[in-house]
Structure 1
Amino acid sequence: MRPPYSVGVPADTGKQRAGRGVAADVLQKLGFLTIGLFDRDDPAGGHESTLRMIELGEQLGFDSAFLRHRHLQYGVSSPVALLGAASQRTSRIELGTAVTPLGWENPLRLAEDFATVDLLSGGRLNPGVSVGPPMRWEDVREALYPDTADQEDFSTERLTRFLRAVAGEQVSGFSGTAGFETFSERVEPHSPGLRARLWYGAGGLSSARRAGELEMNLLTSSVVRAEQAPPNGVWDFAAIQAAQIDAYREVRPEGRVSQGLVVIPTDSATADQRERYHAYVEARTPRTREPQGPGMLFAPDLVGTSEEIAERLAAHAGYQRVEEVVFALPFTFRPDDYTQILGDIAGALGPRLGWTPAHARAAAQA
């Protein structure tokens, strides 16, 4: 049996991305992720700021913009609604969720919402989902499922129900006309290409393999499940993440894999911004040295010049195995900080990673 991970990067895997012969210094797709932070007393302002951030991302040439759910917090609780608005303010950038926790959702209803937004966007939606009980389940169960909490199934079965609904399989025993109304046996509207653009947020080896078995794309993030103590006593996030990507590739070599780390380039940052950024990373670093809570290991945040960050990514075993990334933005920064960070990622870091902005690629192909 393969161990959960091995420290170090095999020499024959560090030079190709995704095992498909793509040079390791060429990043194919570059995206960003945000939770859409807002003020409790002015949530509209925060949502508008997030929409402007997505618009800026398209202008800078980013390939994708992802939103992360924050239920009962001061972040976007309904990405599908916000992405519906974003679909009307952008024309090219892919829009995704990373991830939608299915424990909070009715799979059939969510399939309807995603299909609607996908059609509104012209086929640009990339929903990422995960399974498991809702966060802080004991605190929210009575409000979320007052009558069915003990019967709710938060396993993979909930996910397969969602996949069948998105794929257009039968969900109702009746179709046809009843009186003046016409009914369908499948979820409507149906978006034919959406099933191929579904992502699974995996934390461990088994969930990475499950993503492949379900013919989903794989989202890896800045958190992994530490499933076995390291042989030398030092936890290696990159090696664990690399092992999970390898496990997925063994099952589905043709699938897309995206890596997400917190990346904070400082090339154009002011002295005040650099000081705050480094303080933010320093405060979060202790949690990266050993697993937190139920065995979850956090990746170190990457802060510094684009040259410094590119060098650290080049040595990162997880990054070496992917050809697209969705860098996570720090969750508590100011709008002008995000503008600076996105500008440096697109204008300085991305090119160092071999990435070409989407509008430049389109112009070259014209």
Structure 2
Amino acid sequence: MKKIGFLSFGHWTPSPQSGTRTAADALLQSVDLAVAAEELGADGAYVRVHHFARQLASPFPLLAAMGAKTSRIELGTAVIDMRYENPLYMAEDAGAADLISGGRLQLGLSRGSPEQVIDGWRHFGYAPAEGETDAEMGRRHAEVFLEVLRGQGFARPNPRPMFPNPPGLLRLEPHSEGLRERIWWGSGSNATAVWAARHGMNLQSSTLKDDETGEPFHIQQARQIRVYRDAWKEAGHDRAPRVSVSRSIFPLLDDRDRAYFGHGGSEQDQVGFIDEKTRAIFGRGYAAEPELLIRELRTDEAIAEADTLLLTIPNQLGVAYCAHVIEGILKYVAPELGWR
């Protein structure tokens, strides 16, 4: 059994060919798709955060709106770039959105990847400390965020407060009990997967990771998951971790599916450089008739290792079509693979 959710980047463009032409369209359609996915029996609605781009950015108003409109489905991010975040303000926003949803948030964080602008986090007022890289700054922000989510008081109260205080040091409010255990780390390497395990975070692994061995993507990703679980066990945490992978999967069920995705082109892994030093491998996509799709997915070792699968959806094709893709996987693919 696997939890199956969708992952949306929330692309929008004023092009007449797009079904998502404005930022408002992207936000409101994301809420509508979360509602539709819940009705179909999907387990999760996740969004990607990108700054300075015509995509989804500030996640917490959106997650709160999703939470107010749904009752069961998990609501998450994959991922929030922590280089841009004030971890204390973020903890307040996350606590509020989690309480609105009834404790359904699953927040994926990461140090981030190359963005739309040069050192975009500097425009948000953040800069690495002396001798620190921007990646290390992102991990430092994440560690502060994890600490304040514990809900322990740390701030000395004013002796003459405007409103009465509980005794002792004060914590951030609103605090949502249990959210700390629903934090994930988006890892692009084996080393950061180990770091996430030591810090007690669940693991998110996408369709991009450092090419560390030259092997096919799904084999490297499966090894990353096993390394993570070994590190988790070694750390001695008292709960079982969760692991997600994301994939582009399209069952070809009708002429519309075949027109959009039936022409091939994504059946092989791709290798490239995400910066001047980092060689990365990009995982293949899947698009085929259900019978062939099932055979191909059986060979994906990383999907087999994970307990959660996030389906990247083409949001600019509209809510109805994305719901059709999700339904096709839940109805024709997942049962045959033992995911349902």
- Shared fold, TM over 0.5: yes
Match of 2:144 in 1: 161
Q: Deviations over 1:290-320 (max 9, x none)?
A: 2333312111001112332222221111112
- Partner of 1:290, secondary structure, is strand
Q: Which amino acid is 2:192 matched to? A: S
Residue 330 of structure 1: aligned partner? 314
Paired residues of 2:272 and 2:280 also in contact (CA < 8 A)? yes
Q: How does 1:129-208 map to 2 (within 5 A)?
A: 129-132=109-112, 135-136=115-116, 138=118, 140-145=120-125, 148-149=126-127, 151=129, 154-172=137-155, 174-175=156-157, 178-182=160-164, 185-208=170-193
Q: Secondary structure at the match of 1:303?
A: strand
The yes-or-no answer on 1:292 pairing with 2:273 is yes
Which 5+ residue runs of structure 1 have no aligned equivalent?
Answer: 1-26, 357-366
What SS is found at the alignment partner of 1:138?
coil
Distance 1:101 1:308, change over 3 A: same
Provide the alpha-carbon RMSD of the alignment: 2.2
2:304 corresponds to 1:309: no
Determine the C-alpha separation between the residues in 2 that align with 1:60 and 1:69. 25
Amino acid at match of 2:102: G
Q: Shift of the alpha carbon at 1:256?
A: 1.0
Which residue of 245, 253, 266 maps to 1:259? Answer: 245
Note the C-alpha offset of 1:182: 4.2
TM-score scaled by structure 2? 0.86
Match in the other structure for 1:214: 199
The answer to whether the Cα contact below 8 Å between 2:128 and 2:137 also exists between their aligned partners in 1 is no
Instruction: Assess if the C-alpha contact under 8 Å between 1:266 and 1:306 holds in 2.
Output: yes
Structure 1 residue aligned with 2:237:
none
Using the size of structure 1 for normalisation, the TM-score is 0.80
Secondary structure of 2:92's aligned partner? helix
State the distance in 2 between where 1:214 and 1:141 align.
24
Q: CA deviation at 1:76?
A: 0.9
Partners of 1:102 and 1:176 in 2: how far apart? 30
Q: Please say if 1:33 is aligned against 2:7.
A: yes
User: Which segments of structure 1 move beyond 6 Å, counting only runs of 4 or more?
Assistant: none
**CA-to-aligned-CA distance 1:90-121 (integer Å, 9 cap, x gap):** 00101000011111111111111111111110
Q: Cα 1:137–1:48, aligned 2, differ >3 Å: closer, same or farther? A: closer
Name which of structure 1's ranges 46-55 and 56-65 shifts more when overlaid on structure 2: 46-55
Match of 2:252, as an amino acid? T
- 1:353 pairs with 2:337: yes
CA distance in 2, matches of 1:334, 1:222: 23
Residue 43 of structure 1: how far off its partner (Å): 2.0
Counterpart residue identity of residue 84, structure 2:
W
Aligned length: 317
Q: Distance in 2 between matches of 1:243 and 1:263?
A: 22
Give the secondary-structure state (helix, strand or coil) at the position aligned to 1:327.
Answer: strand
| Secondary structure class of the residue paired with 1:186 | coil
Q: More relative contact order in 1 or in 2 (CA 8 Å, sep 6+)?
A: 1
**Which residue of 2 is the match for residue 54 of structure 1?**
34
Are residues 1:238 and 2:218 paired?
Answer: yes
